[in-house]
Chain A
Amino acid sequence: MGKYWNEQIECMDRDQMKALQSERLVKQVQHVWDNVPYYRKKMEEKGVTPQDINGIEDLYKLPFLSKADLRDAYPYGLLAKPLSECVRIHSTSGTTGKRVVAFYTQNDVDMWEDCVARAITAAGGTNDDVCQVAYGYGLFTGGAGLHGGSHKVGCLTLPMSSGNTERQIQFMQDLGATILCCTPSYAAYIGETVKKMGLTPDDLKLKAGIFGAEPWTEEMRQQIQRSLGIKAYDIYGLTESSGPGVAFECECQHGMHINEDNFIAEIINPETGEVLPDGEKGELVFTSITKEAFPLLRYRTRDICVLTREKCSCGRTLVRMAKPMGRSDDMLIIRGVNVFPSQIETVLLKMSNATPNYQIVVGRENNTDTFEIRVEITDEMFNDTIRSIEELERKISQDMLSVLGIKAKIRLVEPNSIPRSEGKAVRVIDNRKLLD
């Protein structure tokens, strides 16, 4: 096995790739038009029919899909295959109210696993490797995605799921794991635990790690590489377009190659929707051209990003995306979970007639995100006893946990103590410095 999982695709000539994408796009648009009334209506509203789409040069004519569409159409509104042909469901973590649910046919699962196999191969993985999957298993795509890709490559797969770190390290040692797959913050934590257990990277056989599902810095990469004695590779994906493996890093560690035979990437101006040329910063939009059950066309990821088609020294011709540099909406990713300030407002509204002013403070200590919500106390909330205020903090904390899916430290503060700029409270302070 060479350094590519699918050399023909990964190193395909640009013109050939364009032709392949065009052919698949035309077919996909027809499939969606015929089977997804929700999107067909959007096309009709824009005055577009499948006849207008003759290749990727016509992609810009298609309407966008957003997360709001996915919620509107929940759960079956964007499904393009009968449920009898679907074999799997995955779902996003912790979004407001209705979750985003994605469906997969067997072909969709195969395509996804093939994408992940490319990522594992690019990280040096072969059938001689022992691949420890410490992403969470379940509705989350992390565990299932890397698990499937690892099987495809033929690695001996350790389906550990996340947590129980000392046992992870024990297995790593006893079974000679060579590749670790998990979130970057968990990798950093495993690195610290290795040290705490009195071990060094030399006690482990690990050589590579494939880390994704949350933003991480170059500094964190260096730290993980040192603490585990590995080379750390980034992987990108989203449940809406299958899961991890939409894009992956090669040995150059300089941008992630997008699996363009399955996903067409565009960068748009988030305000106008206008398509921007390569190299310009804007919002990343994906069109799934091979997915059968859940084929999203022009899905707005809200990730702010740059694409480059400069030749990569790894030999792959697949377009590369930079690490996302932020969001075009106000979503935060905290401990791998998507958090929208609007969710926090919903909870606080229940506590008081007027929404109290609040501020989200996110930081990172020992490579784990810290998450504090400061809430300006209102007269309605304030009562003379410490007990009742502590009770209130506990209540808010519990409600936040059930809505957000992660624990936040609640801190009640004095009225008017949250800084305001031009009369508007500063909602989010993110001290993680992920984007430097």
Chain B
Amino acid sequence: MTVKQLSVFVENRPGRLSAITELLGNAGINIRAMSIADTKDFGILRLIVDNAEKSVKVLKDEGCSVTLSNVLVLRITDRPGGLAEAMKVLYSYNISVEYMYAAFINTESNTACLVLRVDDNDKAITALEEKGYKLLSQNELGL
């Protein structure tokens, strides 16, 4: 139960984010989650979209450097301590989180969705599902 994430190499110079998001917008691609990790000279734009393959094609055709990786989209309850409980599960199974960011998706009003990159997807899926957590599938991203 993983989801495809796009990572785009972006140089730190004016207009780059504008150009990339415009490309996706013109191609009718909806962004469901995103984050930017930045350094002095470059950043990595990470995106969860409703159509990963099409996005890769659109971006590559424009000469962008893009890779796809499998991440988890985890639904948690939107209340104090909701995130902490999920993290505790991962910690207790000795799974480390490489990075994490919030998604725009809200399937129900009392939940929130997170994108997680962990060192072991299978182990994390087993652990989270065992504890009753819902992981979103690729199909559910169109929602």
A residues near B (Cβ < 8 Å) are 377-379, 382-386, 389-390, 411-417
Find A414's partner among B9, B98, B99, B117 (CB 8 Å cutoff): B9
Interface centre among B64, B65, B69 (most CB of A within 10 A): B65
Find B64's partner among A383, A411, A415 (CB 8 Å cutoff): A415
Interface centre among A389, A414, A417 (most CB of B within 10 A): A414
B64 touching A385, Cβ below 8 Å: no
B39 touching A384, Cβ below 8 Å: no
- Whether B55 is near chain A, meaning CB under 8 Å from some CB there, is no
A390-B39, A411-B41 given; A383·B67 CB < 8 A: yes
A414-B9, A414-B11, A417-B11 given; A386·B44 CB < 8 A: yes
A413 to B63, CA, bound (A): 12
Residues of A close to B66: CB separation below 8 A: 379, 382
A390 to B9, CA, bound (A): 13
B98 touching A377, Cβ below 8 Å: no
Residues of A close to B10: CB separation below 8 A: 414
Which residues of B from 32 to 83 have beta carbons under 8 Å from A?
37, 39, 41-42, 44, 46, 63-67, 69
A385 touching B9, Cβ below 8 Å: no
Nearest 10 interchain pairs by C-beta: A416-B63, A384-B7, A382-B65, A415-B63, A377-B65, A384-B69, A414-B11, A386-B37, A382-B9, A377-B9
Question: Nearest CB to that of B5 among chain A residues?
Answer: A384
Residues of A close to B7: CB separation below 8 A: 382, 384
Residues of A close to B5: CB separation below 8 A: 384
B65 touching A384, Cβ below 8 Å: no
Residues of A close to B65: CB separation below 8 A: 377-379, 382, 414-415
Residues of B close to A417: CB separation below 8 A: 11
A48 to B98, CA, bound (A): 72
A383-B67, A389-B42, A414-B65 are known; give 5 further A-B pairs, CB within 8 A.
A379-B65, A379-B67, A385-B99, A386-B39, A389-B9
A384 to B71, CA, bound (A): 11
A129 to B142, CA, bound (A): 84
A379-B65, A414-B63 given; A385·B11 CB < 8 A: no
A327 to B72, CA, bound (A): 56
Find A413's partner among B11, B39, B117 (CB 8 Å cutoff): B11
Residues of A close to B67: CB separation below 8 A: 379, 382-384
Residues of A close to B64: CB separation below 8 A: 414-415
Residues of A close to B69: CB separation below 8 A: 384
A137 to B128, CA, bound (A): 66
Question: Nearest CB to that of A417 among chain B residues?
Answer: B11
A385 touching B41, Cβ below 8 Å: no
Question: Nearest CB to that of B42 among chain A residues?
Answer: A412
A-B contact pairs, 11 of them (CB 8 A): A377-B65, A378-B65, A382-B67, A383-B67, A385-B44, A385-B98, A390-B39, A412-B42, A414-B9, A414-B63, A416-B63
Residues of B close to A415: CB separation below 8 A: 63-65
Question: Nearest CB to that of B69 among chain A residues?
Answer: A384
B44 touching A412, Cβ below 8 Å: no
A53 to B108, CA, bound (A): 96
Residues of A close to B9: CB separation below 8 A: 377, 382, 389, 412, 414
Residues of B close to A382: CB separation below 8 A: 7, 9, 65-67
